[in-house]
Chains A and B, each alone.
Chain A
Amino acid sequence: AQTVTQSQPEMSVQEAETVTLSCTYDTSENNYYLFWYKQPPSRQMILVIRQEAYKQQNATENRFSVNFQKAAKSFSLKISDSQLGDTAMYFCAFDSGGTASKLTFGTGTRLQVTL
């Protein structure tokens, strides 16, 4: 079974600074998908960014980017120019894709953006 580990339960960053959230996973699959979801205080789950394992290029979405290291099974999220609205829980998730597709989530990192 796949596992996803987020080793940072809480992090804090000042507004306009850059922060990196860590995620590692364990799998024997070669093709799979990785995700970062954001959960603000409203508790809605919002997709931040997605990475396909077969793509070597790291995914980016505006201020959000990932550092995908397939050999190391690492998938970190970098948030640049942090904003107060980035305050949220962030979950890393893994999906093997295909017919048995279902997401496995990490335990989350609570990010606080301060003035």
Chain B
Amino acid sequence: DADVTQTPRNRITKTGKRIMLECSQTKGHDRMYWYRQDPGLGLRLIYYSFDVKDINKGEISDGYSVSRQAQAKFSLSLESAIPNQTALYFCATSDFGRDTGELFFGEGSRLTVL
């Protein structure tokens, strides 16, 4: 089984719908991140969390919200999806104790908003 698991892997939805992308990890890492990947733009940080009680906005947080339900779980919500939120979304974790910055990624969730 993957160390960082994202669900769903693929999702097609309609404008205005509420969508939740879920992420769980078995690596025991404190830090979790949500990134968005768009062609020609690379990966951009949406939200990140350094522990259960810590939530921080990234560079593109508008239109998104997150919930850190436990150390191992970090969910991303789109309250009212719009077409320009069509993208590949990645959850990632890192280990603060190692302090090297390396991220461990899930397999990605491709979201299409019609």
Q: Which residues of A contact B (CB under 8 A)?
A: 4, 6, 9, 33, 35, 43-45, 47, 50, 52, 91, 95-99, 101-108
Contact = CB atoms under 8 A, between A and B. Distances in A.
Contacts of A6: 42
B107 to A, nearest CB: 6
B101 A33 contact: yes
B112 to A, nearest CB: 14
Interface residues of B, number: 26
Interface in B65-95: 88, 90, 92, 94
Contacts of A99: 50, 96
Nearest to A32: B101
A107 B42 contact: yes
Contacts of A104: 45
Nearest to B103: A103
Contacts of A91: 42-43
Contacts, number: 61
A72 B40 CA distance: 24
Contact of B42 (A43, A95, A105): A105
B41 interface: yes
Contacts of B92: 45
A97 B40 contact: no
A91 B90 CA distance: 14
A103 B34 CA distance: 11
